[in-house]
Amino acid sequence: MSTTHPLPSAASGAQVPRGATPRVGPAVRRIDLRRWISPIAILVIWQLASSTGLLAEDELASPWRVVTAAVDVTVSGELPEGLGVSLLRVVAGVAIGLVAGVGFGLLSGLSNWGGLLVDPPVQMLRTLPHLALVPLFILWFGVDETPKVLLVALGVLFPMYLNVHAGVRGVDPKLLEAAQVSGFTRSERLRHVVLPGAMPSTLTGLRLALGIAWLSIVVAETVSADSGLGYMIMNAREFLRTDVIVVGLVVYALLGLGTDALVRRLERRALRWRPS
């Protein structure tokens, strides 16, 4: 009969059987460098196409020119100023959209009368492409900050409403019944059962909403603006500066990835009670 000889664990000194693989925590997992192969290959091909003349500079600037342009607009202050203006617009629009979307979602999800009164008009409005409302918003509110902020808010409202509504309605009725039998009041059932049960769907809606928020501000600023990242892109288009255009688009992409990473981090912390 064979015996196993315990080996000391390097992390904690615990005994693990020979041949067993120690569990590696998320903090020490190595980054898979193979994921960078295709992005680096695309950049190399892009640079080679530009250097050999296959890709005209007035159609798409080379990666090196894009990097140089990013440094120039950063040093001149054009990029930081436009970034600050766009961030303020997005923050204001997201705040309004979150309050409206979560409020309407809870109202229609928790109350039958609320669902009858709120859900039909919201469902009808969400079928309209909200970006097509830009001309109307300009006619109604002018060309100042209001139409841009409201366009972002409208883009955030619908995914938040749908996911909050679905999350609240999707709570297991058996959990609510068990909480009621245990003597929980209505507010306690809402706080301890309904809201935690709706949290996964709500955070999914937040990820979708933030992506739509950046899309909305891109359209709003390129249609009617005298400041912001979108204005910088449109101004560069007038002078055929494709390098500056690409810089603006890359910044938008990085902002979208950054906000999505923040929500995913929040999701891991808020949903620690779920089994992995």
Q: Indicate whether 6 pLDDT > 60.
A: no
Q: Indicate whether 217 pLDDT > 60.
A: yes
User: What is the three-state SS of the chain?
Assistant: CCCCCCEECCCCCCEECCCCCCCCCHHHCCCCHHHHHHHHHHHHHHHHHHHCCCCCCCCCCCHHHHHHHHHHHHHCCHHHHHHHHHHHHHHHHHHHHHHHHHHHHHHHHHCHHHHHHHHHHHHHHHCCCHHHHHHHHHHHHCCCHHHHHHHHHHHHHHHHHHHHHHHHHCCCHHHHHHHHHCCCCHHHHHHHHHHHHHHHHHHHHHHHHHHHHHHHHHHHHHHCCCCCHHHHHHHHHHCCCHHHHHHHHHHHHHHHHHHHHHHHHHHHHHCCCCCC
How far apart, in whole angstroms, are the C-alpha atoms of residue 93 and residue 86? 11
pLDDT of residue 10: 41
Q: Indicate whether 161 pLDDT > 50.
A: yes
Q: Indicate whether 261 pLDDT > 50.
A: yes
90: domain CATH number?
A: 1.10.3720.10
In a domain, 190, yes or no: yes
Tens of pLDDT, residue by residue over 105-114, are 999 888 888 8
Q: How many angstroms separate the Cα of 244 from the Cα of each of 45, 86, 208, 271?
A: 20, 16, 28, 40
Q: Indicate whether 95 pLDDT > 90.
A: yes
In a domain, 12, yes or no: no
Which structural domain, as residue segments, surrounds residue 170?
85-230
Tens of pLDDT, residue by residue over 11-49, are 444 444 554 445 544 444 566 778 788 888 888 898 898
In a domain, 156, yes or no: yes
Q: Which two tokens stand for residue 231?
A: 């204005």
Contact 158, 104 (CB under 8 A): no
Mean pLDDT of 228-247: 88
In a domain, 244, yes or no: no
Q: Indicate whether 81 pLDDT > 70.
A: yes
Contact 119, 165 (CB under 8 A): yes
Instruction: Find residue 15's DSSP bridge partners.
Output: 8
Could you give the dihedral angle defined by the CA atoms of residues 146, 228, 241 and 243, in that order, rounded to the nearest 10 degrees? Answer: -130
How far apart, in whole angstroms, are the C-alpha atoms of residue 14 and residue 6? 9
How far apart, in whole angstroms, are the C-alpha atoms of residue 245 and residue 251? 10
In a domain, 252, yes or no: no
Contact 163, 180 (CB under 8 A): no
In a domain, 169, yes or no: yes
Q: Indicate whether 273 pLDDT > 70.
A: no
Q: How confident is the model at residue 220 (pLDDT cuts 50, 70, 90)?
A: confident
Q: How many angstroms separate the Cα of 109 from the Cα of each of 77, 96, 115, 118?
A: 47, 20, 6, 10
Q: Indicate whether 3 pLDDT > 50.
A: no
pLDDT of residue 61: 85
Percentage of the chain exceeding pLDDT 70: 87
In a domain, 117, yes or no: yes
How far apart, in whole angstroms, are the C-alpha atoms of residue 108 and residue 116? 7
pLDDT of residue 218: 86
Contact 239, 68 (CB under 8 A): no
Q: How many angstroms separate the Cα of 215 from the Cα of each of 95, 141, 219, 221, 233?
A: 16, 20, 7, 10, 14
In a domain, 257, yes or no: no
Task: Name the domain count of the chain.
Answer: 1
